[in-house]
Amino acid sequence: MTPAARAEAYKVFTRNLRSPIRGGPPVWDGSLPHDLPRVEIDTSAAECAAGWSFAAQPETALRIAGLWPDGRPSRLFRCEISDDALVRGRKIRSATGTIVEEITDLRPALLALHAPFGDLVAEVTEEALLWREALARPRCDAAAVEAQLRIALSSRDLRWSLRRFPAAKAAWAARDAKAAWPAWSAWPARAARDAMSAWDAWAARDAKAAWPAWSAWSAWPARAARDAMSAWDAWSARDAMSVFFTARRGWIAHDQDLLSAGIRAAYASGLALAIPTGPTELGWAMEDR
C-alpha cells in the first residue's frame, strides 16, 4: 500500500507543551518525533472546529497562537501532515500529524510576521525577541528585580514605594483593595493609551495588515480571563511594544523605551508580577522555581 503523501505544516504550543488557546494538560512529553493521536475532524467550512489545527507558514502559526499567550514564550514546531488535510482560512485541519522538530531560531518567522511594519520591521522584531527572552525568566535574582523596578518607576516618573509579596497570588489579593485602584491608570502610563489611539488611527488609514502581528503580542483573552496572574506580563509586553513602535514613528510624544525600561530586565531576572497594590505602592513577587 502506497503511504499517503506528506506536507509540511507548523504548530505552536506553550512552554510546557499545552494548547496556547485551550490550555489543559500537556499534549505530549516533548520527545521527537511525536505522532499525534488520530481524532475525528469537522469537515465544515468553519476555521475553528474539531481536529488538529496547523498553519502552512511558521509566521501564521505564531500569529494565531501568540508570541507569549500565557505570559511565557510560546514554542514553534515543524510538523508533517497528510497533504489532503482541510484548509480552512488561516488554518489547516487534520485528523493526525507528526511533530518533527522544534524551531528555536524564530527570527525569520518574526521578520515575516512583522513585515507590515515596513522599514521598522527589523527593530520591531528585535524588540519581540528581547521580550521573549525576558519572559522566559532566564535568571533568578531578587535584588536585581528590585533594582530594575526602581528604574521602571523612575522612567514613568512615579515616586512609589516597592513592596515584595511572597507570591503573585498575594499581590493580586492586595490589588483588590479599593485603595489600589486609582494607581492602575498611572502604572501603564498615558503612553500606553496614546499608543492604542495611534494604532487605531494607523490601522483605519492604511495598515490593517499589521493588526494580526499586534494581536500576537497579547495574552489570549480566554486564558487571561481564567488566569489573569499569568497573563499580566503578556499585557506588559504588548503595551511596551506598542509604545516602542508608535514612538519610533513619531506618533506619540514619549520615549520609545518608556514601558520597557527596568521592567523587561526585571522579568529577565525572575519577576513574576508587578502591579499597583496601594495608592503609591508597586507590589511585586518572584517567579516560582
36-57 per-position pLDDT tens digit: 999 999 888 888 888 899 999 9
The half-sphere exposure of 62 on its side-chain side, counting CA atoms within 13 A, is 30
Contact 10, 60 (CB under 8 A): yes
The confidence score (pLDDT) of residue 230 equals 52
| C-alpha to C-alpha distances, 70 to 18, 47, 93, 164, nearest whole angstrom | 10, 22, 24, 23
Nearest to 93 by CA among 58, 46, 57, 59: 46
Sites in the chain below the pLDDT cut of 70 = 1-5, 178, 199, 201-209, 221-231
| pLDDT number for residue 203 | 59
Cβ(79)–Cβ(54) below 8 Å: yes
Of 138, 158, 121, 135, nearest to 237 by C-alpha is: 135
Calpha distance 189→157 (Å, rounded):
9
Cell numbers at 114, concatenated: 512583522
Q: For the segment 250-280, what is each residue's pLDDT rounded down to a tens digit?
A: 988 889 999 999 999 999 999 999 999 998 9
User: To which H or E segment does residue 239 belong?
Assistant: helix 228-248
Torsion angle, alpha carbons of 220, 226, 232, 234, to 10 = -20
Per-residue pLDDT at 124: 96
pLDDT of 194 reads 80
**pLDDT for 214:** 77
Three-state DSSP at 224 gives: helix
Q: Model confidence over 119-150: pLDDT tens digits?
A: 999 999 999 999 999 999 999 999 999 999 99
The runs of H, that is alpha helices, within 6-95 are: 58-65
The pTM of the full predicted model, rounded to 2 decimals, is 0.91
d(CA 79, CA 201): 38
Q: Coil, strand, or helix at residue 258?
A: coil
Check whether the bond before 33 is cis (ω within 30° of 0). yes
* 20 CB neighbour count, 10 Å cutoff: 24
> How does DSSP classify residue 242?
H
